[in-house]
Chain A
Amino acid sequence: MFRALSAAAVAVMAVAGVAFAAAEAQHPRDGNFSFESPLGGYDMAAVQRGFQVYSQVCSTCHSMDHLAYRHLGERGGPFALYMVRNEETGELEPHVGESAHGGRFVDVTDNPYVRAIAQAVTISDIDPNTGQPVDRPGRISDHFRRPFPNEIAARAANGGGYPPDLSVITAARHGGANYVYSLLTGYTGASEGTLYENHYFPGGRIAMPPPLADGAVPYADGTATTADQYAHDVSTFLQWATDPHMVERKRMGVIVLAFLLVLASLLYLGYKQVWRNESH
Chain B
Amino acid sequence: MSGPSTYEPKSGFTRWLDKRLPIIRLGYDSFVAYPTPRNLNYWWTFGAMLSLCLIVQIVTGVVLAMHYVPHINLAFSSVQRIDRDVPFGWLIQNIHSVGASMFFLAVYIHMFRGLYYGSYKAPRELLWILGCVIYLLMVGTAFLGYTLPWGQMSFWGATVITNLLGALPVIGESIRNWLMGGFSVDQPTINRFFSLHYLLPFVIAGVVALHVWALHESGQNNPTGVEVKSKADTVPFTPHATMKDLFATTLFIMLFAVFVFYMPDALGHADNYIPANPLQTPPEIVPEWYLLPFYAILRAFDFNIGPIDSKLAGVLAMFAAIGVLFVLPWLDTSKVRSMRYRPAARQFFLVFAVVCFGLGWCGGQNPGNILAKSGDFTATLTWIQGGQVATQPIEAQSAAQWEEAARAAEQGAQGAAMMAVTRSGATTGTLRAVSGGSPQTRTVRAATTDELETEISAVKAEVGSAAPFFTVERYTPFTFTVTRLAQVLTLYYFLFFLIILPLLGLRETPGRVPDTIAKPVGDGQTQGAA
Chain B residues with CB under 8 Å of A13's CB are 469
CB–CB A274/B469 < 8 A: no
Residues 266 to 299 of chain B near chain A (Cβ within 8 Å): 270-271, 273-275, 283
* A213 in the interface (beta carbon within 8 A): no
Binary flags per residue of B143-170, CB closer than 8 Å to A gives 1, else 0: 0000000000000000000000000000
Chain B residues with CB under 8 Å of A164's CB are 274
Chain A residues with CB under 8 Å of B251's CB are 264
State which of B38, B77, B253, B417 has its C-beta within 8 Å of the C-beta of A260.
B253
Residues 1 to 22 of chain A near chain B (Cβ within 8 Å): 1-2, 4-8, 10-18, 21-22
Binary flags per residue of A219-246, CB closer than 8 Å to B gives 1, else 0: 0000000000000000000000010110
> In angstroms, how far is the closest chain A Cβ from the Cβ of B238?
9
Chain A residues with CB under 8 Å of B90's CB are 245, 249
| Segment among A83-91, A101-109, A112-120, A168-176 that sits at the interface with chain B | A168-176
How large, as a class, is the contact surface on chain B? Answer: 35 or more
Chain A residues with CB under 8 Å of B468's CB are 14
CB–CB A168/B261 < 8 A: no
CB–CB A17/B250 < 8 A: no
CB–CB B254/A257 < 8 A: yes
Chain A residues with CB under 8 Å of B406's CB are 6
State which of A11, A65, A263 has its C-beta within 8 Å of the C-beta of B469.
A11
CB–CB B454/A21 < 8 A: yes
**Whole-angstrom CA separation of A35 from B419 in the bound complex:** 64
Instruction: Tell me whether A278 and B246 are in contact in the complex, defined as CB-CB below 8 angstroms, given that A5-B420, A14-B467 are known contacts.
Output: no
CB–CB B91/A4 < 8 A: no
State which of A10, A18, A71, A274 has its C-beta within 8 Å of the C-beta of B84.
A71
Binary flags per residue of A154-175, CB closer than 8 Å to B gives 1, else 0: 0000000000110110011110
State which of A4, A18, A65 has its C-beta within 8 Å of the C-beta of B77.
A65
> In angstroms, how far is the closest chain B Cβ from the Cβ of A65?
7
CB–CB A11/B422 < 8 A: yes
* B239 in the interface (beta carbon within 8 A): yes
State which of B77, B257, B461 has its C-beta within 8 Å of the C-beta of A66.
B77
Binary flags per residue of A58-72, CB closer than 8 Å to B gives 1, else 0: 000000011100010
CB–CB B417/A2 < 8 A: yes
CB–CB A4/B420 < 8 A: yes
* A129 in the interface (beta carbon within 8 A): no
- In the complex formed, the residue of B with least CB distance to A11 is B420
Interface centre among A4, A22, A71, A260 (most CB of B within 10 A): A4
Residues 434 to 479 of chain B near chain A (Cβ within 8 Å): 439, 450, 454, 457-458, 460-461, 463-465, 467-472
> In angstroms, how far is the closest chain B Cβ from the Cβ of A62?
14
**Whole-angstrom CA separation of A24 from B25 in the bound complex:** 65
Interface centre among A7, A263, A271, A278 (most CB of B within 10 A): A271
Residues 415 to 432 of chain B near chain A (Cβ within 8 Å): 416-423, 432
* A267 in the interface (beta carbon within 8 A): yes
CB–CB B270/A171 < 8 A: yes
* A252 in the interface (beta carbon within 8 A): yes
Is chain A's binding surface mostly helix, strand, loop or mixed?
loop
* A202 in the interface (beta carbon within 8 A): yes
State which of A15, A65, A171, A202 has its C-beta within 8 Å of the C-beta of B273.
A171
Q: What count of chain A residues pass the 8 Å CB interface test?
A: 54
* B260 in the interface (beta carbon within 8 A): yes
Interface centre among A1, A5, A8 (most CB of B within 10 A): A5
**Whole-angstrom CA separation of A170 from B196 in the bound complex:** 32
* B262 in the interface (beta carbon within 8 A): yes
- In the complex formed, the residue of B with least CB distance to A251 is B261
CB–CB B274/A10 < 8 A: no
CB–CB A261/B265 < 8 A: no
* B244 in the interface (beta carbon within 8 A): yes
Chain B residues with CB under 8 Å of A65's CB are 77
* B303 in the interface (beta carbon within 8 A): no
CB–CB B410/A4 < 8 A: yes
Interface centre among B40, B77, B235, B243 (most CB of A within 10 A): B243
| 8 contacts across the A-B interface (CB closer than 8 A) | A2-B439, A4-B416, A11-B432, A18-B458, A264-B254, A267-B246, A275-B244, A280-B40
B contact residues vs A (CB 8 Å cutoff): 38-40, 77, 80-81, 83-84, 90-91, 94, 235, 239-240, 243-244, 246-247, 250-251, 253-254, 257-258, 260-262, 264-265, 270-271, 273-275, 283, 382-383, 406-407, 410, 413, 416-423, 432, 439, 450, 454, 457-458, 460-461, 463-465, 467-472, 518, 530
